[in-house]
Structure 1
Amino acid sequence: MPNLDARLQAVLHLIQADVHADIGSDHAHLPIRLAQLGRITRGVIVEVNPGPLEHARVNVARAGLTDRLEVRAGDGLAPLAPGEVQSASMTGMGAQTMLGILTRTPDRVPDALVLQPNDSPEPLRRWAQARGYHVTAEVLTPGFWRYPVLRLERQSGPDPAYVGLPAGAALRYGPHLLREGSPLLREQVAADVTRLTPLAAPGRAATHELEVAQSAAVWLSRDRK
């Protein structure tokens, strides 16, 4: 069985589907583990680069899962048929790269997404709000930096996860993560306040970012009482 690091373990635990696609899978360790654990019945592995594509095919064959995991060459969600999969995952990419994938082929975006961006997930949360997806689960995992993992599900109406929270802080740091108030998130918020304070000045973007971080810090402090 392939070993997964903390961030991919977090992604794995947020996936449960009959048919699932892993986009930009690289070594295919995540979908292989999902299939071995019975968390998916069938999987589609998509990879655009020839080297990782071949690597994925070799690993799937070695795992004896060619009957359950199909490896396809292509960019993003394009190799999928509309409605083919119930959920999809993307890991180890920037949030803007993920947004590009989601917006290029909107008819292929499934009802559930598990996303692990390597930078701020705020653009993904904003996309979710605009496209009728709710943030149903979030995890922050340690590693080279703090890795956020989000599960988004297509649902009707406003996302209840944001109710009662400072809007900017919830979008920046995550509504579920703010409510949980883990030590890892508190460290991140404190680090942001320290980093942004000397950069803030009228008219600078850092001023707004600092205000958002400070509002998160105030809310977390209030939550402790």
Structure 2
Amino acid sequence: MTAPLDARLETVLSLIRAGAHADIGSDHAALPLALVRRGHIGRGVIVELNPGPLENARQAVACAGLGDRLEVRQGDGLDPLAPDEVPSVSLTGMGALTMRGILERGAARQVRPDALVVQPNDNAAPLREWALGAGYHLRAERLASGYWTYPVLRFERAEGPDPAYDGLPGDAARRYGPLLLREGSALLRQQVWADVTRLTPLAAPGRPAALELATAHAALAWLEGRTPPDPATRG
């Protein structure tokens, strides 16, 4: 029996439903095993690059007796997948820029799943920005508590501009998430306030922290229903 999923992976699992699904960087295969057992997917592909995690995944699938429904492949990112082989893919537990690189390399090989569920360990802005230019719309966003606060996002292929961003301050929406800003949960408010507190003493005019602080203030203003301060007026 595998260990229960933590809150982070439970949140990822809640956003996945597909006949066939690939999980990239699965390690002990806890997520794909749970997806099959709970009926969220019919079959799955597990991709691992390094020998240790690859063997962990193979052993976990064999011990679970699910080798007929979960295939473990060795490879880098989406490389082991053929175009249109699986309509749904998840990437968890990596940096957003690492995930973005995997998705860009996959797209260059025409591996563009219909749905993507991603859980970066840091700021998800690079993934939101990538999706805006890659033909994906943001369909769901969640925050999961754990060692830190984890963003979990579901993208789906779609035509035209993403309506999720309509009427929102652009930088703040890409940084904190348009759907999360509209929801305005206590967890998001804590995150924005933490950024304001952290960045305020660092935000001398012209420094990168000043732009980050302006983004945090714009998010806070949206959440509180007021006009954000003009960064040019802060000394």
**Same-fold call, TM cutoff 0.5:** yes
| TM-score normalised by length of structure 1 | 0.97
- How far apart, CA to CA, are the structure 2 residues paired with 1:79 and 1:53? 13
Report Cα offsets for 1:126-148 as digits up to 9, x if no partner.
00000110110000011110000
Report Cα offsets for 1:18-47 as digits up to 9, x if no partner.
110000111100000000011101100000
Equivalent position of 2:66 in the other structure: 65
- Paired residues for 1:51-200 under 5 Å: 51-106=52-107, 107-200=110-203
- How far apart, CA to CA, are the structure 1 residues paired with 2:174 and 2:183? 15
TM superposition outliers: structure 1 runs of 4+ over 4 Å = none
- How far apart, CA to CA, are the structure 2 residues paired with 1:102 and 1:178? 25
Task: Return the offset for 1:108.
Answer: 1.2
- Paired residues for 1:1-80 under 5 Å: 1-2=1-2, 3-80=4-81
The 8 Å contact of residues 24 and 47 in structure 1, kept in 2 or not, is answered as yes
- How far apart, CA to CA, are the structure 2 residues paired with 1:37 and 1:104? 31
The 8 Å contact of residues 85 and 110 in structure 1, kept in 2 or not, is answered as yes
- How far apart, CA to CA, are the structure 2 residues paired with 1:220 and 1:96? 27
Q: Give the fraction of aligned pairs with identical amino acids, expressed as a percent.
A: 67
Report Cα offsets for 1:90-127 as digits up to 9, x if no partner.
00000011011111121113111000000000000000
Structure 1: give runs of 5+ residues left out of the alignment. none
Structure 2: give runs of 5+ residues left out of the alignment. 227-235
- How far apart, CA to CA, are the structure 1 residues paired with 2:165 and 2:112? 23
- How far apart, CA to CA, are the structure 1 residues paired with 2:64 and 2:185? 36
- How far apart, CA to CA, are the structure 1 residues paired with 2:162 and 2:154? 13
The farther-off stretch of 104-113 and 19-28 is 104-113
